[in-house]
Chains A and B, each alone.
Chain A
Amino acid sequence: MNSQSTAMRESSSDWQVNESRGIASAVPIRRFYWSVRRELWENHSIYITPLAVAALAVLGYLILTLGVPVPMPDPRLLDEPYSMAAAFVVGIFYSLDTLHDERRDRSILFWKSLPVSDLTTVLSKASIPLLVLPLFSFAIAAATEVIEMGLTSVVRPAGDLSVATPSTSVFRISLGLLLYHTVTVNVLWHAPIYSWLLLVSGWARRATFLWAALPWIAICAVEKIAFNTSYCAAMLRDRFVGGPEAVQGTGRFVDALSRFTPGRFLSSPSLWIGLVVAAVFLTASVRLRRYQGAI
Chain B
Amino acid sequence: MSVAQPVRPVPANPLPTKRRMTRKQRRLALIAAAGVVLCFAAGLVLFAMRDSIVFFYGPTEIAEKGVAPGTRMRLGGLVEVGSVQRGADQRIGFTVTDGNNAIKVSYKGLLPDLFREGQGVVTEGVFEGVGMFRADSVLAKHDETYMPREVADALKKQGHWQPGGDAPTPAKP
Q: Are these two chains actual partners, yes or no?
A: no
